[in-house]
Amino acid sequence: MDSILDGDVQTVFENKDLVDSSTIVDQDRIYGRDEQLAAEARAFRDTLDGERPPDLLLYGPSGTGKTLTVKAVANKVKERAQESGIEFDFVAVNFKTMESHTLDRAVWKLGHQTARKAGVVWDVPRSGVSTDMKYTRLYEIVDDHFDSLVFILDEIDALTGSTGADEPAYSRLLYSLSRVMSEQHVDTQLSTVVVTNYPKFRENLDSRTDSSYNPNGIHFSDYDANELIEILERRRDAFKQDALEDGVIEIVAAYGAQNEGDARRAIDLLRDAGEIANRAGDTVVTQDHVRSANDSVVKNRVLEIVGGMSVQKKLSLYAAALVAKENEGAAPSPVVYDIYKILCEGSDMEIYTQETVNSHINKAGTYGVLESERVSGGFKSGVHLVFKFTEPVGAVLDTLSEDERLQEIPAKELVEVVKRRLRD
């Protein structure tokens, strides 16, 4: 115990921060994003000329460098601005990680982060104070401490707001921020960088917001396996010399490519493999460490998603996974419903309608477990849904099977039923 607390522990890492996907890295460590970096640099260049940078909209799949690149550019501009005596900074908030996705909480979070950058106390309580008062204090801090400020609004589509609202909370936030200078709340040059996986989020903007918010769009595409290899090679010095077995980076990149070219997941996976090696007392990270890390990551991700589901939702998803496993990852909803009914009968559970079961399964889609599409023909049922799993089906089944209420399911017998239903 004392040796651990004193830091006398063998490790494969030289600089572990380099395989922390949240670390802001220099531009020379960023690969395959020259065009996007150049576009962001051109926009931020206005700051150094005393002008307001244009609003930016960065869109594309998860883990494709959107937040990474804009933080790297903003960091470099901050250095240049300090040399010129310009008080410039950026405030980044990821709305997906907030415990509440309301406008009021978003404004409070922006104020809290802005106060931290300004080096002042954010003296506004989370509750008991109106949203307008939170805005007022936020603008006071902005005006008093910055010549130029950029809000990086990450995963903004998660800011949905209250159910039944006329417009999503992110629409109202963007409306306020896009008009803050014209309405003379601040003299600071204030602009926004919106980061989203869903470029169509603008379709839900209120007409007033759509009129006043006009960003420059920058698209980010998936990384392929070769690009992921280059990205990981630029993080190799996170490890001690010769601490990575031949082929480790390639297998990590292959797993990353399977996850839609997500570089963030690939970097995290490389770090996790190193941590497994450390726990085992090994001095070299091997391909087996990577496989173990990937299995653990997949299981934990699925467990996090399905852990809080009701038993009916778990039965619905279990039925879909059973079908998908025998049908190359795709599960036609009529077959899924047949299996679901058998599961319910065997568990003495109430049988819900097919519409409800489809809805339960689609809920899993909001967490990235699967996708659904409506198709026509086949299975003698006309138009129906087909669920396609984006997470490994085996991991989904294994995780669901850990629920004691599902442990008595005769999976082998059901597989034969699934095969017959798929042939019919």
pTM higher than 0.85 for the full model?
Answer: no
Residue that has been written with the tokens 């902005």 in this structure:
142
Give per-residue pLDDT as tens, 19-64.
998 888 888 899 999 999 999 999 999 999 999 999 999 999 888 9
Shared-domain flag, residues 60 and 78: yes
* Crossing angle between the packed helical segments 263-280 and 225-233, to the nearest 10 degrees: 50
Please, what is the end-to-end C-alpha distance for the chain in angstroms?
62
Flag whether 235 is marked binding.
yes
Flag whether 256 is marked binding.
no
pLDDT confidence of residue 4: 47
C-alpha closest to that of 192 among 179, 211, 204: 179
Listed residues 179, 197, 219: the one ending a domain: 219
Shared-domain flag, residues 47 and 150: yes
151 within some domain: yes
- For the domain that residue 296 is a member of, what is the CATH number? 1.10.8.60
Flag whether 67 is marked binding.
yes
Domain holding 379, by residue range, is 309-423
The pairing of strands 384-389 and 148-154 is unpaired
Give per-residue pLDDT as tens, 155-210.
998 888 876 677 889 999 999 999 998 888 889 999 999 999 887 778 888 899 98
pLDDT confidence of residue 379: 45
Shared-domain flag, residues 397 and 315: yes
Give per-residue pLDDT as tens, 277-312.
999 999 999 999 999 998 888 777 777 777 778 889
C-alpha closest to that of 129 among 146, 150, 108, 109: 108
Give the count of domains, the chain. 3
Give yes or no for a contact between 169 and 205, defined as CB atoms under 8 angstroms apart: no
14 within some domain: no
2 within some domain: no
Flag whether 58 is marked binding.
no
| 407: its two tokens | 């442990």
6 within some domain: no
Flag whether 170 is marked binding.
no
Flag whether 64 is marked binding.
yes
Residue that has been written with the tokens 């839609």 in this structure:
260
Flag whether 265 is marked binding.
no
